[in-house]
Amino acid sequence: MTAILIIAPLVLAALAIMLVGEEHFKTVKYIAFGASIVTLLFAILLYQTPPGIETYSWFSIAGLSFNITTSTETLNMLLMMLVSVMTPLIFLYSMGYLETPSEQRRFYFEMCLFAASMLLFSISAGFISLFIAWEMLGVTSYLLIGFWYKREHAATAARKAITTILIGDIAMLVAIVLIGVHYHSFDFATLMSQYQNTSFLYLPLLLILIAAFTKSAQFPFHEWLSDAMEGPTPVSAFLHSSTMVKAGVFLIMVLFPLYSQTGLLPVILIVGIISAAIGASNALASRHIKKILAYSTIEDLALMFIGIGLGALYATILLFFVQSFYKALLFMGSGAIMKANEDEEDIFKTYNSSKNRKLYVALLFGVLSIAGVFPFSGFFGKALLGSAASSNLPVYIMLVIIELAGGIYIFRWLFIPLRNMNEKEETVYINYNSIPPTMIAPMYILAILILLASFSYIYFPTFLLPIVKNVQQITWPEVLFVNGTAIVGLLVANYVYRQGHRFYMASKHKNLFNALNNSAIINRAYVAIAAAFMYTARAISRFDSGVDKFTYSFSEAFIESGHSIKGLVNGQVNTYLLAFIAGFIILVIAFAL
């Protein structure tokens, strides 16, 4: 079975969308949706074939072959199925979400290309195909964040994303070059089978880690993700929560044996904890309905990195799997709330989200799952992570604090739009009936998937065991701890945001609020780094123009000397004669001596 063919339907759809005329904007979404369904069917077919690695030679030079290697091993299949399932749901949601005719072709073209790159990424088992997919993810993400470039911040946000990711791309390319030269192969399999020389691998693996951190928005590269919310909501639900940002985590999971050998796990753990703290605190403080979820995504990804850092691969994979569904659902819900509130992004200016019962029930599934309430699937991911950390007390304490913040902010996110609109400040026209069924339906499918994903706790160990070696069990303390933080979060959020203590809290704890809302500090650091580069650039530029002037003064000096010699050639014969005699005398003296 040729696994690489899985990208074919979406690539063909992208080409078809590019080629159809502007007047066929209505058919474009059906082309994309159809291609995604075909992809899903193909993925199911692929799932039933035995796993294997396939290698296609792309080109080779001087004995070094650049191969496109695909694998249908367990982890690859997991991500591939995840992407194949998410793609039709997102396209279904987009049908209702995106109405402007002139945007249809561009949107579906870029989305199809993205989904194809994500599928290629998911089945890659070698650095060459991985890097192609990796870069295409960055480019399509850039295009989709800046999709509404007419909005004030969209293009800037897109630039921030691609600039941050560019750092990771180059780090990755350096790592690939080093590995390629050292092992004469770009395949993961070769790397895994001869990794005895860990001292060499230290630098490439560190560089790959940087690449993963940029892609998965971890400290200190995390700020682009919250800005990326300038993109359309389906993009946030697809790229920036459930698929693309997890590429970094996935890569580290695939290369996990190498990382545990080289002793880089503590680095991952520390960065994960810092990022989780940053994500949770900003999610508590942000007022932007999507940015709260974006910071929450940073926290989710950081939890996965913490899992890797603790060596608890099983917990990480489970969290990796279940996180997609609830996060995509929450993003879809935020898009629906925004649509009903005249595209208002400030969460304090959105109201009456319970008016649409269908929407609200679907949101509850997502919120309860992310908060970790049993039996929603989020519980299993978080509880397993807790049991993995239970032997490491400082990490465990950090986890408890982060989970507590997580419980608070997600119920805050749920409760604030729930308020009834104050008669006095009635400025927006709220219409929850305008949410089309194509936006609600995928949320219900995701809600079902959230519940079904709970069974992965039972089902996963059977086929993950070869990869993860040991499978943790959820113990009773974890059950209490995860559900407890969710309940405390619910109560605190209820007290602050439902009982009207918000203004009191905000005025009394201003310093706390500023500490939580720390994204500005990071952004200032970014600006300072850019300014340092610009300062150097200006200094070098001054030096360069100085050199240019210096060379120019040479030519002027030549012209000047020409002018001064010109005076000697004055046409007067007696001057020439005088010079001749003087020269003759000098010659005679010279010869005489």
Note the residues at the interface with other proteins (CB under 8 A): 57-62, 64, 131-132, 135-136, 139, 146, 149-152, 154-156, 158-159, 162-163, 166-167, 170, 173-174, 176-178, 180-181, 203, 530, 533-534, 536-538, 540-541, 544, 547-548, 551, 555
Length of the chain, in residues: 593
Give SS3 for 126.
strand
The helix (run of H) or strand (run of E) holding residue 131 is helix 127-145
Phi-psi region of 62 (alpha: psi -120 to 50; beta: other; left: phi over 0): left
Query: How far from chain centre, in Å, is Cα 275?
Result: 14
Q: Output the six-digit token pair for 120.
A: 């290629």
DSSP letter string, 32-100: HHHHHHHHHHHHHHHHHSPP-EEEEEEEEETTEEEEEEEE-SHHHHHHHHHHHHHHHHHHHHHHHH---
Min dist CB 254 to other proteins, Å, is 19
Judged by CB, which is closer to other proteins: 35, or 128? 128
Judged by CB, which is closer to other proteins: 178, or 401? 178
Judged by CB, which is closer to other proteins: 49, or 60? 60
Question: Computed over its alpha carbons, how large is the radius of gyration of the chain?
Answer: 31
Q: Name which of 328, 313, 309 is nearest 377 in CA terms.
A: 328
Min dist CB 160 to other proteins, Å, is 9
The conformation of residue 242, written as its DSSP 8-state character, comes to: I
Judged by CB, which is closer to other proteins: 426, or 548? 548
Judged by CB, which is closer to other proteins: 172, or 294? 172
Judged by CB, which is closer to other proteins: 136, or 400? 136
Q: Name which of 42, 81, 72 is nearest 321 in CA terms.
A: 81
Give SS3 for 288.
strand
**Which residues, 6 or more positions from 465, have their beta carbon under 8 angstroms from its beta carbon?**
471
Min dist CB 146 to other proteins, Å, is 5
Q: How far apart are CA 216 and CA 159, in angstroms?
A: 16
Per-residue HEC secondary structure of 527-580 comes to: HHHHHHHHHHHHHHHHHHHHHHHHHHHHHHHHHHHHHHHHCCCCCCHHHHHHHH
Judged by CB, which is closer to other proteins: 48, or 57? 57
Min dist CB 159 to other proteins, Å, is 4
Q: Contact 352/329 with Cβ under 8 angstroms?
A: no
Judged by CB, which is closer to other proteins: 557, or 588? 557
Judged by CB, which is closer to other proteins: 181, or 592? 181
Min dist CB 57 to other proteins, Å, is 8
Min dist CB 4 to other proteins, Å, is 14
Min dist CB 264 to other proteins, Å, is 18
Min dist CB 151 to other proteins, Å, is 8
Min dist CB 59 to other proteins, Å, is 4
Q: Cis omega (within 30 of 0) on the bond before 375?
A: yes
Judged by CB, which is closer to other proteins: 343, or 426? 343
Min dist CB 107 to other proteins, Å, is 15
Q: How far apart are CA 143 and CA 128, in angstroms?
A: 23
